[in-house]
Amino acid sequence: MIDTCNPFVSRDGEIATWAREKGAGLASAELLPGARLVRAFNAIGYTRMGAAHEQPGRIGMPIAGDDAGAIAVASRLIRDIGYEPVLVGGLAMGKYLMPGTPLAGEHTPVEIREIAARLN
């Protein structure tokens, strides 16, 4: 499962507060026990999602996950739409794929790796 959601308190209420405190990836894993889960497609705004074709492979897409098979599936999908997948760590790193966090926005794959290294 690819968790593309970002919890927003104004929209989602109490559960969003819990998810943001716990970390969105870990919260999703707790709510979906046994799911082969990765977080991806969270860090780049939907209005820019279709723009990867402008610079194929130049814009990185951070992925957070613990399941190698799920990471591989998400990585293929990310490449298919023109982004370069960048594994930033396990689901605990999923909290950094939300708007307002260091990994949010458009970054090159190298920039994503550098930011993720500082956060780990």
Series of mean pLDDT values for 10-residue runs along the chain (120 residues): 91 90 92 96 82 74 97 96 94 93 94 96
Res 58: pLDDT: 84
Res 54: pLDDT: 72
The CATH number of the domain holding residue 10 is 3.40.50.720
Distances in Å between the Cα of 32 and the Cα atoms of 1, 22, 29, 45 are: 10, 15, 5, 25
pTM: 0.89
Query: What are the backbone angles phi and psi of residue 107, rounded to the nearest 5°?
Result: -135, 155
The count of domains in the chain is 1
Amino acid at 67: D
Res 51: pLDDT: 72
Domain that holds residue 35: 2-119
